[in-house]
Structure 1
Amino acid sequence: MKKFVLLPVFFLSVMAYGQQVITGRVTDRQGEALVGATIVEKNTNNGTTTNATGQYQITTRSASPVLVFSYVGFQRTEIPVNGQTPLNATLEEANTLTQVNVVGSRNLNRSVTDSPSPIDLIDIREVTSKTGQLDLNQLLQFAAPSFNSNRQTGSDGADHVDPATLRGLGPDQTLVLINGKRRHQSSLVNLFGTRGRGNTGTDLNAISAAAIERIEILRDGASAQYGSDAIAGVINIVLKSNVNEFTGNVNYGMYQAKYRFDDKKFDGANVNVNANYGWRIGREGFVNLTADYNFRDHTQRANVPTDIARRQYGDPKIQNTSFYVNSAIPVSANAQIYAFGGLNLRRGDAYAWTRFADSDRNIPSIYPNGFDPIISSNIVDGSFAAGIRGLWKGWNVDLGNVFGSNRFHYTVNNTLNTSLGANSPTSFDAGGFQLQQNVTGLHFTRNFKNTLQGLNIAFGSEFRAERYLIFAGEEASYRNYDPTKPGGSQGFPGYQPGDVINKGRTNLGVYVDTEADITNAFMLGAAVRFENYSDFGSTLNGKLSTRLRLSDKFTLRATASTGFRAPSLAQIYFNSTFTNFVNGQPVEVLLARNNSAVTQKLGIPSLKQETSRNLSVGFTGRLASNFTVTVDGYLVNVKDRVVLTGAFTNDDPDIGADLQALRVGQAQFFTNAVSTTTRGLDVILAHSAALGRGRLNTTLAANFNRLTVDEVKTNDRLRGKEDTYFDLRERKFVEASAPPSKINLTLDYGLDRWTIVARAIRFGQVELANYNVYEGDPTLNFLDVYTPRITTDLSVGYRLTNQVRLTLGGTNIFNVYPNLHDPTLTESGGAWDPVQMGSNGAFWYAKLNLRF
């Protein structure tokens, strides 16, 4: 028996051999502390970051440890420990060829903490190793308070591409960059669900988290700096560039079901396997490759009697496979060529509303018990960027091109076309759509260190070409062969030849962006951008920014800007006929494109750009050597916002006859219908302190957000129909783009080989209007109220060796759900709409991280 007791003691003794507690400080050449610098023990998973004074503490594991120090905008430095403590590091600024801009500033010498705009810097390695989320949207949902994304169900294409918002604005009002280059959007326009209704957006889940070094979130309007879509802010994704190091992850988890109509307690298995490796090319070049596979299974949250709404309600089944590359190769002492990009292949299966056995949309000889149509997706998303950058007569020059494409192809399975009778197929090709984008840019940047206390000038131009296509499905997916019966594939009618479109446009943008350090404490910045679109004209926008350092411990910052967003090609040209369910009853709905006969009959004008005014005021403070605080308030007014209207019915005196001729019960369209105002506050408190032999890092991050609809604009023909044009349900969908508050408290404790992370997130109350709003009965409850909820996450990690780390944990460990509501009245047809933290419940997982 003693042998079995002594074995683990011997094992732990061996593991502890060579441990050293190393402390020190990381600074720049001027002796300024580098806050948040990363320190990693080479060839291990062992790492830490500096606190508010640049101090760090790390317990090494190797017999001869080497520490690697890195910070954005500075050269990576490796220092052998050799028994030294304290071990201080002074980092040199990176040369212009290896620097990567921090989003929000084109000054290569500007750090995150020195920016006049609020920026979140998220180290993906730290986040992915300590949390249970696997895809990028969910990682950001729980890491950044101003970011919100929920999985949808029963929402057609949005089940396969999660819409996301920043500061409660639309998914298409946030610009996404990769390595500072504009990322293409998804070809999908969201038609259902509570988030992103009527919007397009960028599919962040097409980007593998394993390929990412860090994510920079600029929480500020930036159209004058980066162009269209940057009304709410900018997300810049920086790909990995490390070399001679292998990292891999194996992750597995399942949801704990609280609400199901059967006895199954766990479902929705999630599996993720990824690998990353980089090779050195010459002295300064590199090629870094990533492969990633992610599978998640259906969840089942249909907990109501099966004769009410849906027998299948929950997450869709998704298979995601990604390949990414990032590279840069010097061609001379002053120039390098670069290339990066990736390919994402996704297949999804999502359940539509149930067609019960006695439904007139069922054929009992094919489905005696009714059927649950499955909307399947085949999404191919790819991008590739290449260019050359270097020094020319004192200027940093970057000439590059990036091409991106997103193709979304539908099939409908486990279905039928009722009008074909008993001979109907049960699977159909339903067609789809595609968006392509090509951007060519030429950028110049120069820092004049001897002018004032530093003057940075940047200017450049971008030419963007976009193309949007809709392609038809097979005839049986959309045709009605018997006018007495519903036609088309049930669950999702295919796109018809009349829907087919192939339209493009071009855009030319020119900008100037300057920053001047008037004194060491006072900075002023100004940017102006002119853009011309081939389809709707020109726009001119500007931005002013300032930062005043009152002391070493307190800094004020503020920005004011105008912004714009051109309506997407999908919003202009999308056209479809689909089936919606109102109070559980199917209704054929026509979504008419902007220049269709229906919209022209109603006098709906052509879509125009959204415009915005943004104001941000805040401060950063250091209350103690290990305690920092940032507070930023913001005001965003958006005029002529593009939204999806409410449904006009076929008994309407103005449009009814046209709808009856088209055999549809309702019609909707896109229009610049509303103006909104968003007021908010971001607060981040960070504290770091020794606790026993370990270190406790505490972060409290909160976003408080309130969006109001200021004005609903109709034309003369529709005056008095504002309640249909933009009804209460549509208003509530826009207002519910984010909960009015999200507060995140994270405790991260490291002790020797152990890491323990506890996190509590409070989601504020959300209100939606249900289908009772159309009944006209004031005694009926037409509001679904989702009261505040708190979710709790816990993870425990242990380094089995210097190269292997195991983490066990759970998210939402107390299995908290939103309020239950009547499934026949919700948008989703389930007991919950996709709000707050979602409706899957607790998620339990294990993660194995490898680093060699």
Structure 2
Amino acid sequence: MIDYRFALLSSVAVLAAASAQPVLAQDVPGESTASEQGEATPQAQIIVTGTRRTDRTVAESPVPIDVIGGDQMTENGYTDTNRILNQLVPSFNFPQPSITDGTDAVRPATLRGLAPDQTLVLVNGKRRHTSALLNLNGSVGRGSAAVDLNTIPPIAIERIEVLRDGASSQYGSDAIAGVINIQLRKREGNKAQVTYGKYITTMDDVLQQGGPVIGPNGQPVLDANAGAGDVYQLTDNGQERKRRDGGTLTLATSLGLPVGPGGYLNFALQYQDRNPTNRSAADPRRQYPFVGGLVDPRELTIDRYTHRYGDAKTTDFTAFLNAGYELSPSAELYTFASYNVRDSDAAGFYRRANDARNRDFSASTTTFVPYYADGFLPIITGDIEDIAAAAGVRGQFGDEWNYDLSVVYGTNRFGFGVENSFNVSFGQQSQRKFDAGSLRFGQTTANLDIQKTFDLGIGNGVSVAFGTEYRNENFRIVAGDFQSYAGGPFIANGAPAGAQVFPGFRPANEVDESRNSKAAYLELETDLTDALTIQLAGRYEDFSDFGDTVNGKAAARFEPIDGIALRGSISTGFRAPSLQQQYYATTSTNNVNGTLIEILTVPVNSPVAVALGSQPLQPEKSTNWSAGATFSMIPGLNITADYYNIDIKDRIVVTEILQGPAVLALLQQNGFNNVSSARFFVNGIDTRTRGYEIVGTYRVPEMGLGNISLTAGFSHNKTKITDAAVLPTLPGLTLFGRQESLRLIRGQPRTKLNFGLDWDSGIFGFTARTNRFGEVLIPGADEARDQTLGKQWVTDLELRAKVMERLEFAVGANNVFDSYPDRVRYGLVDGQNYGQNGYFIPFSQFSPSGFNGRFVYGRVSLDF
């Protein structure tokens, strides 16, 4: 593999050498300089999201839009975009799950409590391709394939516009919750940053523990609160567990150069090397088989911290290009491109020495002999490659007709590997390292957008925008090594097939499916008077796999008094079922109570799914409406408040594992005698999400204290399931069970409150942010075993000093007060048995702030 660290260090060195002859800044048409951006109020910024007018500002928008500047992205200890947005946007949620297979490497984020794939992501106003990965484990966003925002480094970003309103009629599929539009850097000037940080934390309510407490008989003492099984009382020193891990080095640079009199070229690189974190607790369960009815002596000495629960180990390299060249005063050629490669290393559940999944059938088929004498921790590796490229021409023709013609291509590949594992059914003939196959997704999008403002004697003119779009998508599954999925000679003895922790994709799972869509839209917008803005939009879209859809939107803003305005919108929207949801397939063999069960995740058009009553997936359909008010009568102060209601019909979800006598009988009637359970995607539920958001910003007048900016935001939303589908062949069968329903409606915080302070004076700068995340429900097997995670405050601080004109040092801490979510319950609590996982997995993956604790960092920045 290429040493990307060396490559990036070399580029930083070259740029540093170039700083001896600095480039003089020149204005890029349509862009303000860094100093101008610093002086302008956010509400006066021109926006390009939610409107195709060329003169619309944030303050004039009829729908809510957050604008996040590039400096806010780079003045941070975190260097991945999702975590930064989680700090800054009240309605944005980014939980950080662990032990969730590929989701450990590509973690999804959500907006307004909806699914990750119900938010459209644009780069420079162009649709971004999604990840090939389908999130199928028990994390927030289960069943979705979303855009991986962490493939876009903060140093490449000029600003981010977050449109919090339905926009399918303007941009097409996915824009139900809103739109995140990432604008890449255009400004001239060069910048290099080196950031290093690590977690220095004490795990709340998790004791540092050692071996078992020994009873008078010389045997370990059992924990009477465990509920069942051999769980031992462990010794402890009375101190909470301290961790010093997750060291993260980020090297980033951005080079901005002029190209001709009106062109620009910006090239950004980022290399990130992140070590894993581990927030597991000691595992008190019996690890070894009994020896003559007594515990194995190794039970007393084994290191009980056998699991790894936290961030995966990752190595990331990303390159971004953003360039434009003025062909003539009325035409600009532009292009942008990105390349990202990521290697990840995430742990699965530890297999104990006495675990049936650690049995060596080669040694004995009658007595238990472990394959790994002391158990093993299987590792899932991810080999991810993400590529995108865009080219287009925009400008004016005729009498002030604006046009933009572009083509964008994007592709994502996720290759799965398994290490430190084995295939139980092959015994000693098994590999220990496997290629488990890969997922691949590609997307090509062509757009033509045309806009002109007509003077019809109405207000300041009517903006008319129309255009077309063609999109082609492809999804592939590639099979893994034979042993990664196959059943070996010992499968007849009850041994499970496939690589432990992640059985590979089989040849029967391979797919290569494509589809295309064609769309046309019309958008009208006008300021009827100085006080009234009206916006209308409509879109027709036709998909090759499920047909066509028509959507519309109406929005208005009324400002009867300068500084006080009312605004609202109503729209219909849709989200097309992804190819991943339609064609994802995998098979695993589980040994349940001595019986081998083939569990299939099958496409909806497969014979198994059809036999169970599946129907072709249809698009999700939404009806959005919102109403709000804005206040800006006091200089420097802006407050917005918006209420919204989002009804979604036919939401796409993955079913429970369908099994039981009725399922088995139906499958056998259709000739599937070797299949006893299956799951697939369905248009399974209707939901309603209601909420409100309040956002305020205040730029304190200059009083000799420097520049002070204050921000505050509050988000509240609630989702409920209004209807659920039933398979026509099996009435009454539960498609979407209690736990999955609660994961969807209560697995994210209903409230989020944030405050921010930015201060700059002379050479010094200071930033403070704090977020309060609301309650989250961890669904149990029944209502009695549900657990609510309480509210949690997380505070971030950073101090900067510009010791030279071009050199700045910064130190800070994310989660400076080392806050943790509530510990999950385990064993017997108030008469309820919460199981044993909570002993060694102390924090829930639903925690909206993660569970890593305090992150301390330093950063050096050089402008040249």
Report TM bin, short chain: 0.7 to 0.9
User: In 1, distance between residues paired with 2:385 and 2:518?
Assistant: 27
How do 1:529-678 and structure 2 match up within 5 A?
Answer: 529-578=539-588, 589-654=599-664, 666-678=677-689
Contact 2:442 2:473 in 1 (8 A): yes
| Correspondence 1:432 to 2:438 | yes
Alpha-carbon distance, 1:551 to partner: 1.8
Contact 1:280 1:287 in 2 (8 A): yes
CA 1:77 to 1:741, structure 2 compared with 1: closer, same or farther past 3 Å?
Answer: closer
Q: What residue in structure 1 maps to residue 99 of structure 2?
A: 154
Alpha-carbon distance, 1:747 to partner: 1.9
User: In 2, distance between residues paired with 1:519 and 1:229?
Assistant: 33
Contact 2:335 2:391 in 1 (8 A): yes
Q: What residue in structure 2 maps to residue 82 of structure 1?
A: none
Alpha-carbon distance, 1:277 to partner: 0.5
| Correspondence 1:487 to 2:433 | no
Contact 2:816 2:855 in 1 (8 A): yes
Q: What residue in structure 1 maps to residue 167 of structure 2?
A: 222
Alpha-carbon distance, 1:76 to partner: 4.6
CA 1:182 to 1:580, structure 2 compared with 1: closer, same or farther past 3 Å?
Answer: farther
Q: Which of 264, 273, 286 is equivalent to 2:264?
A: 286
CA 1:75 to 1:744, structure 2 compared with 1: closer, same or farther past 3 Å?
Answer: closer
Q: TM-score when scaled to structure 1?
A: 0.85
- Helix, strand or coil at the partner of 1:477: helix
Contact 1:674 1:710 in 2 (8 A): yes
User: In 2, distance between residues paired with 1:587 and 1:208?
Assistant: 44
Q: Which of 303, 314, 318 is equivalent to 1:318?
A: 314
Alpha-carbon distance, 1:632 to partner: 0.8
CA 1:802 to 1:664, structure 2 compared with 1: closer, same or farther past 3 Å?
Answer: farther
Letter matched to residue 257 of structure 2: W
- The answer to which of 372-381 and 444-453 deviates more is 444-453
| Correspondence 1:344 to 2:290 | no
Alpha-carbon distance, 1:804 to partner: 1.3
Alpha-carbon distance, 1:784 to partner: 2.2
Contact 1:492 1:579 in 2 (8 A): no
How do 1:250-269 and structure 2 match up within 5 A?
Answer: 250-259=194-203, 265-269=243-247
Letter matched to residue 738 of structure 2: L
How do 1:348-747 and structure 2 match up within 5 A?
Answer: 348-362=344-358, 363=360, 366-393=371-398, 394-449=400-455, 451-452=457-458, 453-481=460-488, 482-483=490-491, 484=493, 485-578=495-588, 589-654=599-664, 666-689=677-700, 690=702, 693-721=705-733, 724-736=734-746, 738-747=748-757
User: In 1, distance between residues paired with 2:195 and 2:33?
Assistant: 30
User: In 2, distance between residues paired with 1:646 and 1:717?
Assistant: 16
Contact 1:346 1:378 in 2 (8 A): yes
Alpha-carbon distance, 1:746 to partner: 1.1
Aligned length, in residue pairs: 763
- Helix, strand or coil at the partner of 1:172: helix
CA 1:88 to 1:664, structure 2 compared with 1: closer, same or farther past 3 Å?
Answer: closer
Gaps of 5+ in 1: 1-42, 45-65, 80-86, 94-98
Alpha-carbon distance, 1:719 to partner: 2.3
Contact 2:778 2:846 in 1 (8 A): no
Alpha-carbon distance, 1:354 to partner: 1.2
User: In 1, distance between residues paired with 2:39 and 2:247?
Assistant: 46
Q: Which of 798, 809, 826 is equivalent to 2:801?
A: 798
- Helix, strand or coil at the partner of 1:649: coil
Letter matched to residue 53 of structure 2: N
User: In 2, distance between residues paired with 1:305 and 1:88?
Assistant: 56
Deviations 1:691-714 (A, max 9, x none): 653233221111111111111111
Contact 1:826 1:832 in 2 (8 A): no
Q: What residue in structure 1 maps to residue 366 of structure 2?
A: none
User: In 2, distance between residues paired with 1:248 and 1:77?
Assistant: 16
State the percentage of identical aligned residues: 36
Deviations 1:256-308 (A, max 9, x none): 34337576521111111110102211100121101110121111111142538
User: In 2, distance between residues paired with 1:155 and 1:833?
Assistant: 9
Contact 2:747 2:778 in 1 (8 A): no
Letter matched to residue 513 of structure 1: E
Q: What residue in structure 2 maps to residue 21 of structure 1?
A: none
Letter matched to residue 419 of structure 1: S
Letter matched to residue 572 of structure 2: T
- Helix, strand or coil at the partner of 1:361: helix
- Helix, strand or coil at the partner of 1:730: helix
- The answer to which of 233-242 and 794-803 deviates more is 794-803
Gaps of 5+ in 2: 1-14, 17-23, 210-240, 288-305, 361-368, 827-834
Alpha-carbon distance, 1:717 to partner: 2.7
| Correspondence 1:809 to 2:815 | no
Alpha-carbon distance, 1:736 to partner: 3.4
CA 1:614 to 1:839, structure 2 compared with 1: closer, same or farther past 3 Å?
Answer: same
Alpha-carbon distance, 1:752 to partner: 2.2
Letter matched to residue 792 of structure 1: T
User: In 1, distance between residues paired with 2:773 and 2:597?
Assistant: 34
- Helix, strand or coil at the partner of 1:648: coil
Letter matched to residue 122 of structure 2: L
Letter matched to residue 480 of structure 1: G
Contact 1:100 1:179 in 2 (8 A): no
- Helix, strand or coil at the partner of 1:725: coil
User: In 2, distance between residues paired with 1:391 and 1:365?
Assistant: 73
User: In 2, distance between residues paired with 1:184 and 1:402?
Assistant: 9
- The answer to which of 508-517 and 665-674 deviates more is 665-674
Contact 2:572 2:624 in 1 (8 A): yes
Letter matched to residue 820 of structure 1: R
Q: What residue in structure 2 maps to residue 189 of structure 1?
A: 134
Alpha-carbon distance, 1:646 to partner: 1.6
Contact 2:546 2:618 in 1 (8 A): yes
Q: TM-score when scaled to structure 2?
A: 0.84
Q: What residue in structure 2 maps to residue 63 of structure 1?
A: none
- Helix, strand or coil at the partner of 1:314: coil
- The answer to which of 419-428 and 829-838 deviates more is 829-838
User: In 1, distance between residues paired with 2:61 and 2:753?
Assistant: 24
Alpha-carbon distance, 1:666 to partner: 4.4
CA 1:103 to 1:355, structure 2 compared with 1: closer, same or farther past 3 Å?
Answer: same
Letter matched to residue 486 of structure 2: R
Alpha-carbon distance, 1:574 to partner: 0.4
Alpha-carbon distance, 1:834 to partner: 3.1
User: In 2, distance between residues paired with 1:204 and 1:219?
Assistant: 17
- Helix, strand or coil at the partner of 2:356: coil
Q: What residue in structure 2 maps to residue 786 of structure 1?
A: 789
- Helix, strand or coil at the partner of 2:117: helix
User: In 1, distance between residues paired with 2:778 and 2:334?
Assistant: 48
User: In 2, distance between residues paired with 1:308 and 1:103?
Assistant: 57
Alpha-carbon distance, 1:454 to partner: 1.9
Letter matched to residue 844 of structure 1: V
Q: Which of 262, 272, 279 is equivalent to 1:301?
A: 279
Deviations 1:458-480 (A, max 9, x none): 00000000010000001000001
CA 1:250 to 1:662, structure 2 compared with 1: closer, same or farther past 3 Å?
Answer: farther
Letter matched to residue 433 of structure 2: S
User: In 2, distance between residues paired with 1:283 and 1:354?
Assistant: 61
Letter matched to residue 668 of structure 1: R
How do 1:820-835 and structure 2 match up within 5 A?
Answer: 820-822=823-825, 824=835, 831-835=843-847
User: In 1, distance between residues paired with 2:685 and 2:629?
Assistant: 32
CA 1:657 to 1:258, structure 2 compared with 1: closer, same or farther past 3 Å?
Answer: farther
CA 1:535 to 1:308, structure 2 compared with 1: closer, same or farther past 3 Å?
Answer: farther
Deviations 1:93-149 (A, max 9, x none): 9xxxxx9861000001111111111000000223321x2221010010111111111
